[in-house]
Chain A
Amino acid sequence: MNMSDFIVQTKQLTKTYKGKIAVDQVNLQIQKGQIYGFLGSNGAGKTTTIRMLLGLIQPTDGEVHIFGKNLKKDKLSILRKIGSLVEYPSYYGHLNAIENLETIRRIIDVPKSRIDEVLSIVQLTADAKRPVKGYSLGMKQRLGIAAALLGSPELLVLDEPTNGLDPSGILEIRELIKSLPQQYGITVLVSSHLLSEVEQMATNVGIIQHGRMLFQDSIETLVQQAKQHIMLSVSEPERAAATLNAAGIRTNLESEGLLHCSYVPDTKIASAVHLLVHDGHDIYRITEKRESLEDIFLAMTREGGF
């Protein structure tokens, strides 16, 4: 794939703090129109990576290319097309929402009408004239997103945008993020430590642990990693397990007398059922159990990769 096809591409991006590695040779790749979920537990290196993408901290090694340009050389022209919300919302508590956005507008020099537009996108118009220090966390977060959208960015970088929000706030922000690529053609990089959250909005996912990228692909590919298991409930589990194992179908006897076969194709299940019926077993129940993304994620972060 050509380099210019990527909106964001890092090459061996590395950051060390006093000899301790925070981000380790990360090759992040985001294409236009994606909602890229950047997933990792707290302290995995997400925020450090994002800060490097925004030029807030200097990489120890490696390169950042955004919009096909090198961040080191074209920092200002790149930043002009990025909106960001890093870690927790930044605001001036003594100013109201309009004044807060105006402090940014005066620097990025966009029309004043943008302030009303972004306030209505994040539904803060009604509270726009109250001092921000009286806002709830969710409102501050939405103001942060409004600030990020002010310059009509092509790339939106949101670091843990739903942190500390209540369920309805999370839903609101999630729906907002999901609408951005379709409505405004914005590419989104959104980080989170919650898989369920990324799963519900991202098209692509990158998983980082101890500063290393463990997985980077589409959500579908990640879901395909989820392995299938078949659980069988039969009349004589012990004898049935022996029968199936003798026939070459690996079966474990679980607690409560359930039989557990891993990764079995459909044809093998058919022959297993045939075998058991033929052998005089009563089959009460056959259930399929898929590994959840949570399981994959936990397995991945536990092992440090596949």
Chain B
Amino acid sequence: MLTRAFASDWLKLRHTWIVALVIFGPAGVIGLQAVNWGLRYDYLTDRYAGMLWETLLKDVHFLSVPALLLGITLVASMLAGMEHQHGSWKQTLALPIRRRTVYMSKWLVCQTLMLLACILLMTGMLLLGYLLGFGGNIPWDSLLARSFYPWLTAGPILALQLWLSISTANQTIPLSIGIVLSIMSLSAAGMPDWMPLKWPLLMKDSISTELSIALGVSTGLLVLLFSIIHFTRKDVS
């Protein structure tokens, strides 16, 4: 049933800006770093000689986390918005399908889109490093970590944004909160360890990466669980 709901939700992405957003998000992040490295090529390659790949990945990561959070905010809002806009919840929920399946499907679509964005980001990093002539000595561990760990650790934010977007038709609130969170994540390094905003930064000095991931995934699933319970009990107007 979940696969059928997913196939239905996936079809709804046609002719929307959602797919474009998933492409332009990572493209924008890579583009900005291309400008940064392109303009200051001699200075940066001189200063970070011997650790070029690692520095590039770090720079991309610095921008990709707020971009990811912003992407989550926009995609969750657009996914929910198309159901709110012309009263589609009442139509969908009067179909022979469990409400939790309907909700899980939306969550899964959102997660899948973000995963695709992260895959594009990784491809972009490889491409940029290659074009900048950093050679074949690619730090794969770091590349994979910086590409996909933020996606895993942003679970709580994604679940929260999806719940906010789905539970109210007015998208001002979820959008405002999501944008504020994205901006806050730029300075999340100084936040206490329990702050979910800090987890995608993968700061090795405070809590371990493994712990960040474990916390991110489990908290994300917990928020998802609570939002499903809320959704299944809600009256649909």
Contacts and interface: CB of A to CB of B under 8 A. Distances in A.
Interface residues of B, number: 29
A90 B90 contact: yes
B203 to A, nearest CB: 41
A223 interface: no
A79 interface: yes
B16 A90 contact: no
Given A95-B12, A106-B7, A57 B94 contact: no
A99 B94 CA distance: 19
A211 B128 CA distance: 67
B106 to A, nearest CB: 13
B14 A99 contact: yes
A108 B95 contact: yes
A177 to B, nearest CB: 18
A6 interface: no
**Max chain B Cβ within 10 angstroms of own Cβ: one of A56, A91, A99:** A56
B179 interface: no
Contacts of B11: 95, 99, 102-103, 106
A76 B97 contact: yes
Contact of B8 (A86, A106, A147, A151): A106
Interface stretch (B80-88, B142-150, B209-217, B221-229): B80-88
A106 B8 CA distance: 6
B108 interface: no
Given A99-B11, A107-B4, A107-B8, A76 B87 contact: no
A89 B86 contact: yes
Contacts of B94: 54-56, 79, 82, 84, 86
B14 A87 contact: no
Contacts of A84: 91, 94
Contacts of B87: 86-90
B18 to A, nearest CB: 10
Contact of B4 (A55, A93, A109): A109
A76 B236 CA distance: 17
A74 B87 CA distance: 25
Contacts of B16: 94
Interface string B1-24: 000110111011011100000000
A86 B90 contact: yes
B98 interface: yes
A180 interface: no
A306 B129 CA distance: 84
A104 interface: yes
B93 interface: yes
Contact of A92 (B86, B93, B95, B97): B86
B15 A107 contact: no
A108 B237 CA distance: 22
Contacts of B15: 94-95, 131
Given A89-B86, A106-B11, A107-B8, A56 B96 contact: no
B235 A94 contact: no
A283 to B, nearest CB: 61
A91 B86 contact: yes
Nearest to A106: B8
A56 B4 contact: no
**Max chain A Cβ within 10 angstroms of own Cβ: one of B90, B92, B236, B237:** B90
A90 B237 CA distance: 12
A51 interface: yes
A92 B82 contact: yes
A58 B96 contact: no
A-B pairs, 10 with minimum CB distance: A90-B91, A57-B235, A80-B96, A106-B8, A56-B236, A79-B96, A54-B94, A90-B88, A94-B15, A76-B96
Given A54-B90, A99-B14, A144-B91, 15 more contacts: A54-B94, A56-B90, A56-B236, A58-B235, A79-B96, A84-B91, A84-B94, A86-B87, A90-B89, A90-B92, A95-B12, A102-B11, A103-B8, A104-B8, A106-B8
Interface of A: 51, 54-58, 76-77, 79-80, 82, 84, 86-95, 99, 102-104, 106-109, 131, 144, 147, 151
Interface of B: 4-5, 7-9, 11-12, 14-16, 82, 85-98, 233, 235-237
